[in-house]
Amino acid sequence: MRTMGKEDLEEIVDSLMDKEKKRFKDRDFFKIKQYVFDFRTVRNLLKLFNRGILKDFTWIVSMGKEAVILSGVGDRGPVAIKIYKSVSSFRKHLDYISGDFRFGFRSRSKLLDLWVEKEFRNLQRFKKSGVRVPEPYARSGNILVMEFVGDEGFPAPKLKEVRDPGIDPEIILRDILDNVTRGYRSAELVHSDLSEYNVLLWRSKPWIIDVSQAVTTAHPRALEYLRRDITTIIRFFRKRWGIGLDPDLVLNGILEGDHVERADGEDTQG
């Protein structure tokens, strides 16, 4: 297979940007081209293309303060490509790293690469424990390639966006809490930023995303983060659908290893 060069990648990027230009304001379009496809990112993308992990881009899914998400085609079919471009708060990110025994802080300049490594390893650990998260495929520098959650390049909606009257919100909430429980007990990880913005609903099942800040249960603030995750997600379901679970009872059940009612009606033992 011929090795892809910078010029080849630029053609693919230009094709993507021409296709997407009408969807973005000139200012946002410039930011994507200027800040995402910089020298470092191009170098890392070339590594992924030349390893056969990536084959093409299809859409720009979203652009946030810290990362741009692209959909694409890889050696396993549709993929999500998460390109980190900055960290919004150095101190906030350091809080999630400094107490995690798996990672030693190296330098501010390496924080992006470390953040990608952290998300990749957290996804692996969650997936292995049966938590419903995208499967991680590869990483290179500031880029993470993972399973695409959605159809034909279009992402599944975030929980915040769901208005489907046909869903049973109580089943969805219990499914999310079951995944939180599996994460804590089996993966020994706490998401630490769980909300309606980082849960996708796909094929009537919730998928948890954005796990870069997840910490181990040995982290000094793990219980604080777990309580916050549970409280935040229950508060959303209470406001949107009027479901009234008690966050303290849910937290105690997770910590004490009580049975957890699964979304399929079966019970699991801790």
151 part of the active site: no
CA distance from start to end of the chain: 49
What whole-number distance in Å separates Cα of residue 121 and Cα of residue 194?
18
14 part of the active site: no
Catalytic residue among 113, 175, 178, 210: 210
Catalytic residue among 193, 246, 258, 264: 193
CA distances from 165 to 55, 197, 233, 243 (A): 38, 19, 19, 15
Which residues participate in catalysis according to the annotation? 193, 210
